[in-house]
Amino acid sequence: MLNKNIKALRKAKGLSQEELAIKLNVVRQTVSKWEKGISVPDAGMVIQIAEVLDTTVNVLLGEEIPKSEEADFTKTLAAKLEVLNEQYSKQSEHRRKIWRIVFATILIVSAVSLIRYVFFFASIYQMQSLGDASTSVTVIGGGAVPAYIPIWYYFSVSKPVLLSALAAIASAIGLYRTRNNALCKRQCF
C-alpha cells in the first residue's frame, strides 16, 4: 500500500527515483527499496516524503482521516508504521532462515565430499605403499585395481576437492553472516 502510493505520487509529480532521493537526502536505492516494498521508511521520513510529494501522510498511507481525528494522527501513523515494520521483519526473517538452510545443505554436502576424498586419497596412498605397479590389491567395495596410480590422476581428482573445499568455506561464511545475532541487534541499534 505505502510502496505503491510512493511510486504513484512520485510519478505523478514527475520525479525520478534519483530526484526524490536527493530531495530526501537518501540514496536512490533506498527509494527503490521503499517502492518495491523491501523496506519501509520510518515515521519522520514518511512525513518528509509527504511534504516533498505535496500530499498528506494520510494519502501516502492510503487512508483518509477525518479532521476531527487529527489529534490521533500520530498514534495512527505510528501504529501503521509498526505493522509495516513487523511485516518487513517477518519477511526478512523468513528469507534469512531459507538462506541458512541453503548454506547448511551446501556445507553438509561439501563436507561429506571432502571426507570421501580424504578416504579415497588415503586408500590410494596405502595401495601404493603395499606394492609396485605390477601388483593389484582389492579395495573395499571394488575389484582388483593396480597399486600404482599415475600422478596425473591426483591432479584430475584435485579439482572436485578444491571445489568442495571452496563450497564448504563459502557456506560456512554464509552461515556466519546470516546468523541471528539478537545481542548485537539490541546493543547496536
Residues 102 and 184 in one domain: yes
Residues 44 and 97 in one domain: no
Residues 95 and 183 in one domain: yes
The interaxial angle of helices 73-130 and 43-52, nearest 10 deg, is 110
Residues 114 and 179 in one domain: yes
Q: Residues, the chain, total?
A: 189
> Which residues, in sequence order, are CB contacts of 23 under 8 Å at separation 6+?
15, 52
**Residue 83 within a domain:** no
Residues 52 and 97 in one domain: no
Residues 108 and 184 in one domain: yes
pLDDT tens per residue, range 107-158 = 999 999 888 888 877 777 676 666 554 455 445 545 555 555 555 566 666 7
Using the 3D structure, point to which of 28, 48, 64 is the last residue of a domain.
Answer: 64
CA distance 148 to 136: 8
**Residue 85 within a domain:** no
Based on the structure, what is the number of domains in the chain?
Answer: 2
Range with the lowest mean pLDDT among 25-34, 37-46, 112-121, 146-155?
146-155
pTM, rounded to two decimals: 0.48
For 27, the domain range is 2-64
Residues of the chain above pLDDT 70, percent? 72
Residues 47 and 117 in one domain: no
Residues 124 and 183 in one domain: yes
**Residue 80 within a domain:** no
Query: CATH number for the domain including 35?
Result: 1.10.260.40
Residues 57 and 95 in one domain: no
Residues 60 and 96 in one domain: no
Residues 120 and 174 in one domain: yes
pLDDT tens per residue, range 7-23 = 888 888 888 889 889 98
Rounded to a whole number, what is the largest CA-CA distance in the chain?
99
Q: What is the pLDDT of residue 186?
A: 45
**Residue 77 within a domain:** no
Residues 24 and 97 in one domain: no
